[in-house]
Chain A
Amino acid sequence: MAQRPLTPALALLAALACAPQPPGDAAPPLGLDLYLPAPPDDPPTAARVELGRRLFHDTALSADSSLACASCHRPDHAFTDTVAQPAGVYGRTGRNAPSLHNAGYATSFAWDGRSDSIEEQVLRAIADPAEMALPHDRLAARLGAEPDYAAAFRSAFGPNPTGDITPGRAARALAAYLRTLRAGDSRADRFRAGDTTALTPLERQGLDLFLGRANCVACHGGPLFSDGSFHNTGVGWGGADPGRAGVTGRAEDRGLFATPSLRDVARTPPYMHDGSLPTLEDVIAFYDGGATPNPLLDREIRPLGLSAAERVALVAYLRALTTRGPSAAMGPRR
């Protein structure tokens, strides 16, 4: 059954209010869980969410004040970018910008899973020389120079004798905002909820392939269409990016990258961790051919032998994962 979402901030407040609630008081977009993981004892108040929204769109968080989070995670493109590898302050980031939709449900962050929480990941992105390149010890001074930030931090977190603006508080505010970016209620969700008319026959054929012979579901299952794990598809194999191995240090993790969510996938080209595949058709053709052979290729991947019509059906189903109407997540407040 389709349910209209509350405004994200209100929905989040309701979902994370401390007092236990009867079912249904915090209905998420159709297809998403009622339970949204969040740090205990850190309620995402409206002031924190609003502060996080402001920070997300503020170029002051980059070393040369040229980039905001929203520069590469564009709200009008499902919080991703339209280029293969967006430029950081000092050049290419080397990876595609992943969508931030439903980041609150994730259990690891970045293509290599380097962060275990949103708070950790936003701090990394701010300081990473390949991204925003702003050292944390400069963050307070940078934001303190902007009007009203100190008051906004005080309002969100209360007074702090050692300074109202801290990197930790900025991370908590950004995380509170990012947890409001919930996207669901696609036609595929409505079909899954029992509306048999929500998908066309072609899309249903695509769904059957997705669940069956094409074996997409081996990694893209559940409400996020992701297993939250890491797999070697051979994309970028032989290049400089070690993938998950860069985090774990284990040779067998070379070439492993996070399974991206497929929600709104039609809105987030180009694809793969390096943005090397421009279209969904390219992605299906890539997997149909058995991906890129390498010694550590995921065992689930093998040539699929799809017909041209079946490839069309799969793409049609993937397009049905698009959130109804404009993105449920809010852009900057005007």
Chain B
Amino acid sequence: MRQHTILSTLSLVLVIAACGDERERVAPAALAASGATPAATTWRAWGGPGVELSGAPSPDGRLLSFVDWDTGDLAARDLETGEARRLTDKGSWQESGEYALASVWAPDGGAVAYSWFKPRPPQHPIHYELRVVDAAGGEPRVVYSNPGNVPYLVPQAWSPDGRWILTALYGADRTIQLALISAATGEARVLKSLGWREPTKAAFSPDGRFIAYDLPAETSTSQRDVLVLATGGSRETRAVASPADERLLGWLASGTLLYMSDASGRPAVWSQAMRDGRPAGAPVLLRGDAWGVITLGTAGDRLAYGVLVESPKVVLAVVDIERGALLTEPAPLSHPAAERHGPSDWSADGRTLAYSLRGVPQQAGVTTIIVRDAGGGATAREIPIEFERVRHLRWSPDGRSLLLVGAGPQGRGGVYRLELASGRLDRIALAPRDATFARWPVWSADGRTVRFLRQQPPPRPNGVVSMDAVTGEERPLLPLRGATAFAPAPDGSRYAVVLEEPRDGARLDVVQASGGAPRTLVRFRPEDEYGGLNWRGGVLWTADGRHLVYSRARLDGSASVWAISPEGGEPRLLFEDTSVWDLRLHPDGRRFAYTRDRERGEVWVLEPDR
């Protein structure tokens, strides 16, 4: 089980240690005390605003591919000069919602292979292609596209001879395959099917005869092994004979594998010499206390990696809604950048707060649910569950279970219930394949049903739906087209609803649960002083039904939280933050919890000493 207190402290040490800009010999105190000798030099290659950690280094290590999120284009940054240029030119977000994601360089540095989000609605709303673009720019080429059968893919490495692109294919059945895609023809050859287990990294050996990758030992565990598979499929061996959690970082030009391992009790970077696809000699510790390392890939005998210096956090704030006064400044629950927090919720009795947590780098398929004292006291429970991503988390009225909405076991989107006493996770309902998740779930007082917002392609119904909390059977309650958030009034008589309007506008309405004409309270435009409506923040009623709380966000994501009477009138600004997602209000009507969804990283380079 994750030790959060240790992780918190040491991650902070890593972050502080990562602030030096010059090359440094890394000698963490813990390692020096243990007698181990770190054997690598590290230096920061890219820091400050705009750092992005989805790309890979060019073979000469000079360039780093990344996604320019101003447009979604693939771009490359010169790590020496700091200059960046776009390799693709898709136009603005208004012109196209497509974007690049993962990328790898051709061995001669002349091209980049990358995944490209290319939705094909209505049948295939999620679809990624494998594309190649010249490093000098130009017209991209679609190498592999299999709508419906392979909705998602991640290029992992380019073979040294330039003929194959090792790619993780994510099938419609949500199983994953390691495949070689011909860079010339797009022909796909599946090397190995991995079931519902996901590799974090795969790499070719320098001679192209082998592929290294990591994989959880079993579907339900986060404990990973590093494996080496012959590219012809003739054999597979473990690269590291250890019961510890290991994950691949890369394969250096000298033939040495780099990997992370917690064999020493803390995550550390190790190297393992390889010969003929098998380990040769003992592994060597390169760097201890390497929390939150996200590998980007190797260039020659160097490893480029990212670390987060800021990650999503649950934030608490205390507010006097009546007066519109902030009583306690927003403050995160904890600080370690190697922890990503997800949605949170207060229990109905107000005594506990629950939230989801994922590590950095992400442990595919594993989320930890944290239950802690609402007053900021000790953590009461840590429950690891097989869950990809939690979108919403809600306490049941009796406080015995949590409703989780998101991508659960095997990556299946749906509504689940986690029994806290047993840790048992039960599926209530699967999301229709072409519909959104159940948004903004709300328990009924008796805990027998859950109301939520459903969006799916017409002519099927959109709007507020009631779901049986045991059988998952759905019943439409109120049709609503274009709704992005909703909340029922405490007495159930009305709904507060956030609705999309033309040209990125939105409005906050109150509608009778029985239907009828809506009453619009506020209209929002993105160009307003406080930005448009932030539907990711949701909308809330206070327990006495006298106030509605919502948030706004500017284009840079900075947000503000507001209150307004459901009868109308002037909104009151409660507080501002850099980001506000999934607002939850304590039963005392004063304490807010929400997710500050900000992420900031740095790129570092590690070179083993010779």
Contacts and interface: CB of A to CB of B under 8 A. Distances in A.
A294 interface: no
Interface stretch (A31-39, A115-123, A174-182, A235-243): A31-39
A212 interface: yes
A15 B427 contact: no
B432 A212 contact: yes
Contacts of B189: 23-24, 27, 34
Interface in A166-215: 191-194, 208, 211-213, 215
A176 to B, nearest CB: 15
B419 to A, nearest CB: 12
Contacts of B171: 192, 221
A25 interface: yes
Given A20-B210, A24-B189, A208-B433, A218 B232 contact: no
Contacts of B410: 218, 221
Given A21-B231, A208-B433, A300-B427, A33 B196 contact: no
B406 to A, nearest CB: 17
A223 B193 contact: yes
B234 A222 contact: no
Contacts of A24: 189
A299 interface: yes
Interface string A1-38: 10000000000000111111111111100001111111
A182 to B, nearest CB: 12
A155 to B, nearest CB: 23
Interface in A25-58: 25-27, 32-38, 40
Contact of B230 (A20, A208, A223, A227): A20
B195 A227 contact: yes
B173 A15 contact: no
B233 interface: yes
Contacts of A1: 187-188
Contacts of A215: 430
B196 A221 contact: yes
A33 B192 contact: yes
B231 A23 contact: yes
A297 to B, nearest CB: 13
Given A21-B232, A23-B164, A212 B433 contact: yes
A15 B232 contact: yes
B418 to A, nearest CB: 13
Contact of A217 (B174, B232, B234): B174
A20 B173 contact: no
A211 B433 contact: yes
Contacts of A302: 471
A112 to B, nearest CB: 19
A88 interface: no
A217 to B, nearest CB: 5
B188 A16 contact: no
Contacts of B164: 23
A130 B234 CA distance: 36
B221 interface: no
A75 interface: no
Contacts of B229: 35
A86 interface: no
A260 interface: no
Main secondary structure of the interface of A (DSSP, over half): loop
Given A20-B231, A192-B149, A33 B193 contact: yes
B234 A18 contact: yes
B187 A35 contact: no
Given A193-B188, A221-B195, A20 B174 contact: no
A255 interface: no
Nearest to A23: B180
A223 B146 contact: no
A37 B193 contact: no
Nearest to B218: A229
Contacts of A192: 149, 171
Contacts of B193: 33, 222-224
Given A15-B233, A17-B234, A222-B193, A194 B430 contact: no
Nearest to B426: A299
**Most chain B Cβ neighbours within 10 Å, of A35, A192, A300:** A35
Nearest to B161: A22
Interface in A89-141: none
B173 A22 contact: no
B175 interface: yes
Nearest to A225: B173
Contacts of B173: 211, 217, 221-222
A218 B171 CA distance: 13
A42 to B, nearest CB: 11
Interface in B383-432: 410, 412, 426-427, 430, 432
Contacts of B23: none
A24 B233 CA distance: 9
**Most chain B Cβ neighbours within 10 Å, of A25, A34, A192, A215:** A34
B134 interface: no
B136 interface: no
23 contacts: A1-B188, A17-B232, A20-B209, A20-B231, A20-B277, A21-B230, A21-B234, A23-B180, A23-B189, A23-B232, A26-B232, A34-B191, A35-B233, A36-B233, A193-B146, A193-B188, A221-B171, A221-B174, A222-B193, A223-B190, A223-B193, A227-B196, A302-B471
Given A15-B233, A23-B164, 14 more contacts: A15-B234, A18-B234, A20-B232, A20-B234, A33-B190, A33-B192, A35-B230, A192-B149, A212-B433, A221-B195, A221-B410, A223-B177, A227-B195, A299-B427
Interface of A: 1, 15-27, 32-38, 40, 191-194, 208, 211-213, 215, 217-218, 221-224, 227-228, 299-300, 302
Q: Which 8 A-B pairs have the closest CB atoms?
A: A21-B232, A34-B233, A35-B233, A20-B209, A221-B173, A35-B192, A222-B175, A217-B173
